[in-house]
Amino acid sequence: MSRIELLSPAGDLERLKIAVLYGADAVYIGGKKFSLRSRASNFDLDTIQKGVEFANKHGAHVHVTVNMIPHEDDLEDLEDYLMELEKRGVHAIICASLSVLKAAKRVAPRLEVHVSTQHSTTNSKAVEFWKSQGADRVVLARECDLNEIKMISKKTPLPLEVFIHGGMCISYSGRCTLSNHMTNRDANRGGCAQSCRWKYRMLKEDQFIHDPDCLFSMSSKDMMAACYIQDLIDANVCSLKIEGRMKSLYYVATVIRAYRMLIDRCYEGRVDEAFMSMILDELSRSENRPTSIGFYEGLPKANDQLYGVNGAGVTQEYIASVLEYDEQSQIALIQVKNHFEMKIEVEVFGPKYTKKMVLNDCFDMDGNQIEVANKPMQLLRTKIPFKVEKYDMIRKIVDKTNRNVY
Ligand code: SF4
């Protein structure tokens, strides 16, 4: 039986590389066309090919979302696009429409076709239907609980993918028209304005029900299903998916690294309380919004929602990334990501290690000593007394009370 796949989002080539280096088995990206979030995507066909080459070199796959609900005028270039994806070595497409599935099977048969969560697949009969249409995998709806996932998996031979981490819709994914209604931006064609997360006042007819200053939102907490990884492996799920193509480099690195460690330990049968607590602590450092277990134990409760706050947990603890390192002089070239002062205790981490140190003096490219780093993207040189590599990161040590540990 093959090992479960860790599937990471990537919003651009840099994040794709980080995801692969930090432990993802596969990465899903959006192209410029036919994808939700297509407006934000940095992946044109040539960049997709570069991503495929990088991923393949490290033993990973690239999946491309072709998951908008196509209207008649969207169909024109679809077949050419699918053939291009196949030609450029993409492993799978993720689609939400039977017409896209059929087109892929017809013109690009080497592409695996995965049915998107946008299709709200919540039972084994629906999975059987997709299998009969030629699908290679189904991404179950986030609205399935753990028992349903187990039952569906038992009844169907088609590989199943489930979400384990990231943002949730307050509505059924793929069934919400709030954004369409309020902003004329179609959530199913990549335009969701996240209207559920706006701040609202509650009225009955023309009267405020609550204090008009008391605003609320309809957003849910982010999902964090680390405690269910062993169950999902035992249930023979084939892929564990992280949500968040718009998330930062730091988010991708910390979340993927934590789940990589957890999955590997599950296979070794060595997950004890102390290890799990370290993983949860690590995940709480990824600048999530507050988290809950989503639908894993059934319908989310009031405590799983964010009524009063919108709450991205931006702690600004990610202060720099390593661009280069000279082993002889131990001087690293780093790029500033967030404000920091000198001589603070920091953690330097890469895909397979974390080390603490006190940040040494930093110098700009003209050799001037820096008192405080407050220019994002500025390049600095500093001494790091152990070997680091490109894509390693430096973060502040932030008190737990400043993080979203829920
Ligand atoms: S408005 Fe909110 S619930 Fe609706 S699709 Fe967008 S994020 Fe999901």
For residue 273, the domain's CATH number is 3.20.20.70
Ligand 1 site, residue 192, Cβ cutoff 6 A: yes
Ligand 1 site, residue 164, Cβ cutoff 6 A: no
Do 281 and 333 sit in the same domain of this protein? no
Do 241 and 390 sit in the same domain of this protein? no
Q: State the pTM of this model.
A: 0.93
Give the confidence band of 313 by pLDDT, cuts at 50, 70, 90: low
For residue range 97-126, list pLDDT tens digits in order: 999 999 999 999 999 999 999 889 999 999
Average pLDDT over residues 174-178: 85
Give the residue from 251, 272, 299 where a domain finishes. Answer: 299
Ligand 1 centre distance from Cα of residue 176 (Å): 6
Task: Give the closest residue (by CA) to ligand 1 atom 7.
Answer: 194
Ligand 1 centre distance from Cα of residue 142 (Å): 13
Do 262 and 382 sit in the same domain of this protein? no
Do 275 and 387 sit in the same domain of this protein? no
pLDDT of residue 219: 84
Ligand 1 site, residue 180, Cβ cutoff 6 A: no
Do 275 and 349 sit in the same domain of this protein? no
Do 330 and 273 sit in the same domain of this protein? no
The answer to whether position 310 is within a domain reads no
The answer to whether position 255 is within a domain reads yes
SS (H, E, C) the chain: CCCCEEEEECCCHHHHHHHHHCCCCEEEEEECCCCCCHHHCCECHHHHHHHHHHHHHCCCEEEEEECCCCCHHHCCCHHHHHHHHHHCCCCEEEECCHHHHHHHHHHCCCCEEEECHHHCECCHHHHHHHHHCCCCEEEECCCCCHHHHHHHHHHCCCCEEEEEEECCCCCCCCCCCHHHHHHCCCHHHCCCCCHHHCCECCEECCEECCCCCCCECCEECEEECHHHHHHHHHCCCCEEEECCCCCCHHHHHHHHHHHHHHHHHHHHCCCCHHHHHHHHHHHHCCCCCCEECCCCCCCCCHHHEECCCCCCCCCCCEEEEEEEEECCCCEEEEEECCCEECCCEEEEEECCEEEEEECCCEECCCCCEECEECCCCCEEEEECCCCCCCCCEEEECCCHHHCCCC
Most confident of 53-62, 240-249, 280-289: 53-62
Do 80 and 158 sit in the same domain of this protein? yes
Average pLDDT over residues 291-314: 82
Range(s) of the domain holding residue 351: 318-402
Residue of 170, 173, 219, 220 to mutate, ligand 1, most atoms within 8 A of C-beta: 170
Give the residue from 272, 299, 326 where a domain finishes. Answer: 299
In the chain, % of residues over pLDDT 90: 71
In the chain, % of residues over pLDDT 70: 95
pLDDT of residue 405: 47
Ligand 1 site, residue 183, Cβ cutoff 6 A: no
Ligand 1 centre distance from Cα of residue 306 (Å): 14
pLDDT of residue 215: 82
Give the confidence band of 145 by pLDDT, cuts at 50, 70, 90: very high
Ligand 1 site, residue 195, Cβ cutoff 6 A: yes
CATH number, position 360: 2.40.30.10
Do 26 and 83 sit in the same domain of this protein? yes
Ligand 1 site, residue 218, Cβ cutoff 6 A: no
The answer to whether position 187 is within a domain reads no
Do 21 and 136 sit in the same domain of this protein? yes
Do 339 and 284 sit in the same domain of this protein? no
pLDDT at 404 over 60: no
The answer to whether position 205 is within a domain reads no
The answer to whether position 207 is within a domain reads no
pLDDT of residue 38: 57
| Structural domain total, the chain | 2
The answer to whether position 203 is within a domain reads no
Do 38 and 97 sit in the same domain of this protein? yes
Ligand 1 centre distance from Cα of residue 204 (Å): 23
